[in-house]
Structure 1
Amino acid sequence: MHKTMSRSNPLLVDIQQQDLSYETKCAILNGIWGTNYTAKELAAQRLGESYLHYYDEQCRNALHSTELEPSIRTHNDIIEIVHHLQQHPTSLRQDIKLQLDSTLAKSELDAAENCLDEGIDLAARLLSMTAIGKLKHSFVPGQKPLIWESGPLKALLEGRFQIPASTNRSIIRVKLDRLFIAQNLERIAGLKIVWTDNLSDHLRLMRDDTEVAIYHHASFLEHQKKSPIFPEGFIEETIQTFCLLFPQFDRASRKWFRAQQTRFRLDDKAGACGHVSTEERQIDNFVFWHDRIGILKQAFDEAEPSTIAQWWFDRRRRVQWYTFWVAALVLALTIFFGAIQCIEGGLQVYKAYYPS
């Protein structure tokens, strides 16, 4: 894996080293995303910040789970495997491993075999932002990692993100109304939003339908539109779900997302993808995420308000909403005037006993 390279290569940095320079971070982004950013641009515009945090987390988890040496020592080694997967999306895993093995010294092969498997899984995760392979120190409750044992990476992802069978779709045409946004999933339906770095968990209901996972790395997706490892049209549709859940021109939604972005270090691009038109709000326009959106919409429609705040924001049934709040107003006025009458009566009795 270790080619003779100039020491000026910013990727020739030990993966255990913390506080990477902007030059190294920039080289990592350019190597995986295929961009041409400069270190100055990265520092000034905070480009790819959320993805770089994910990259660092994945590397640390891999180091905790296994010793990556002798085959994986620097960031350059990781990027080389990433490039190999990008250039050979239909190659079998075993073939990829044999080709990478050929770059190692013969004496290192036995010691490096398990390490190389871990390195390939790590590179696949970084390239697809999908939980591929098992990591002992990064267990997420309810998350089911993809195990890549054989076949090409492209086939693995296509199997995971395949279009549902047509028999499960188009039975009933469902329109996704304008209230169906991420902010209202929380404040109306009472669902807890769990922000995830795992693309495979996007829009998945968890914990007895009390939580929903939402993937947020829009910047990553923008640079994967021509990626050969994802099914055609999958990236564009996933970005479209951001337009649905985080409508860019909804002021309240933008304010809510900015608060979430600050609190959870989200990719700010997710809230600036645009919006969906009335025609695009048919659920049949979503093919890859059709089933999960349908399940989420059903949970949203069936949720009943249980707090005053939920009653206030729940405008799904306007007649019911007006009826409830008119009744609440009448009740409040009745109690208010009743209290005034009681106080007035009490004062009259007091005056009758103590006229002076």
Structure 2
Amino acid sequence: ELVARIWPDSQLSLARFDERTYADLFRYLKYSESQLRQYRQRFACETLESTVEIGGLLKHKVAEPLSAVLQNLSSQYLGGDPKALQRSIELSIRLWLTINVKSPSVAVGPTFPFEDPLEWTPPMSLASLIETRFGKSDFSGDSKVRVRLEGSFTAAYLVNICGMQIQWTDYLSDHLRHDASGRNLVVYRHKICLVNHLKSGDACPIPRDILTEALDTLNLLFPFGDAPTKQLLLKENQLPFYQLGGCGRARDLELSSYEYWREEVDGLLKSFRSPPKSWKQLATDRRDLKEYATFWIAVMVAVLTIVSIPCNIIQATYSVKAYRVSLAQVN
């Protein structure tokens, strides 16, 4: 029922409703409900259902600044604290759009590693907030140069071969972020939300091309039908994510197709294409490794040469001693 309230325009069918595909979303809703109970007195809405209803009201106010939204909704929450109302509004956005709007001036509860909360200031509209967060990448590369991604460019490869770790996030706004070390990759887990947003049409304030590109990045990194991908998602307890398939989108291997997450994809591509850093990586790598193999063979020859130097010295020393002993015996 709560899912239907979040997406009343997506034409969800109870007959075809599969709870397994919503398992992670239900977990997120349950966590949000526990946080709401813990900080109940600091929110204008005390239940998850009433919080979701605010999202329904916001659909018609996406172009209005936050200050106007607060003023318009305050009439429905007489005597309420403006900060409490803003907390409920921001929570409704986190539930509805899975965008991590959590302004520092009103935030309550923990903020986890790899999360980057967004601040919604009074002069800014929800549409502007979304546009600012999901702007097209300011990519410094030559846009005229066609870059074709390898078919083996997958999250499974980045994890199994490059040694990355996946940090799953409930927020689309944190999707494909990675830390300075390049070891942790943040991936948006709610693929089903993207599908339902697309089915909702104009009722979703996130532009359609952003939603489709988010789907494309997931299909790129987690291709349906790829055995290592399935094994990885099974290990990560994300098999329902895999079972959704491509959601009607073919896997796109053209880097230029990615406008909103191009910089992030390009960063992952550099990690993917970097030379192997260990013998294990060299042995399990599926790319054309002639250049890298030549490099490592040269390194091995150099190491063996260095190791052989003291051995040759020892051998020469014993040869001299043996020669002197033989001379002494002759004399």
What's the TM-score once normalised by structure 2's chain length? 0.77
Find the counterpart in structure 1 of residue 7 from structure 2. Answer: 33
Q: Distance in 2 between matches of 1:273 and 1:220?
A: 11
Select which of 45, 48, 52 maps to 1:79: 52
Q: Which whole-Å deviations, capped at 9, do the CAs of 1:183-228 have from their partners, x for residues lacking one?
A: 0010111111111112122111115211111112110000112244
Compared CA separation, residues 239 and 269, structure 1 to 2 (3 A)? farther
**Relative to structure 1, is the Cα distance of residues 190 and 274 closer, same or farther in structure 2, using a 3 angstrom cutoff?**
farther
Paired-residue identity, %: 23
* 1:184-333 alignment runs, 5 A limit: 184-225=157-198, 226=201, 227-261=203-237, 267-269=241-243, 272-273=246-247, 276=250, 280-302=252-274, 304-306=276-278, 308=280, 310-319=281-290
- Runs of at least 5 residues in structure 1 that lack an aligned partner in the other structure: 1-26, 329-356
1:172 shift after superposition: 4.1
Q: Give the C-alpha shift of residue 41 in structure 1.
A: 5.9
Q: Is the 8 A contact 2:275 2:292 kept in 1?
A: no
Give 1:87 deviation, angstroms.
2.5
Q: What corresponds to 1:61 in structure 2? A: 35
Equivalences, count:
290
Query: Are 1:116 and 2:116 counterparts?
Result: no
**How does 1:95-174 map onto structure 2 within 5 Å?**
95-105=68-78, 108-109=79-80, 112-133=81-102, 134=104, 135-150=107-122, 151-165=124-138, 170=143, 172-174=145-147
Letter in 1 for 2:91: L
Cα distance, 1:131 vs. partner?
Answer: 1.2
- Give the aligned residue type for 1:61: Q
Does the 8 Å CA contact 2:28/2:170 hold for their aligned counterparts?
yes
Q: Which runs of 4+ in 1 moved over 4 A?
A: 35-42, 166-169, 268-272, 274-277, 320-325
Query: 1:61 & 1:115 partners in 2: Cα distance?
Result: 14
Moved more, 29-38 or 180-189: 29-38
TM-score (norm 1): 0.72
Q: Determine which of 4, 25, 37 is the counterpart of 1:51.
A: 25
| Cα drift, residue 245 of structure 1 | 0.8
Whole-Å separation in 1 of the counterparts to 2:28 and 2:121? 24
After superposition, the C-alpha distances for 1:142-175 in whole angstroms (9 at most, x for unaligned) are 4321001222111101110011247655164322
For the structure 1 residues 207 and 30, does the alpha-carbon distance in structure 2 shift closer, same or farther, using more than 3 Å as the test?
same
Q: Which amino acid aligns with 1:158?
A: E
C-alpha distance after superposition, 1:221-274 (max 9, x if no partner): 001122441134110111011111111122332233233235xx8644565547
Kindly tell me: are residues 233 and 39 of structure 1, through their superposed partners in 2, closer, same or farther at Cα, counting changes over 3 Å?
A: closer
- Structure 1 residue 79: Cα displacement: 2.0
- Give distance in 2, aligned partners of 1:268 and 1:281: 19
User: Matches of 1:275 and 1:183 in 2, distance apart?
Assistant: 20
Which of 1 and 2 has higher RCO (CA within 8 Å, sep 6+)?
2
CA RMSD in angstroms comes to 2.9
- Of the three residues 142, 147, 150, the one matched with 1:177 is 150
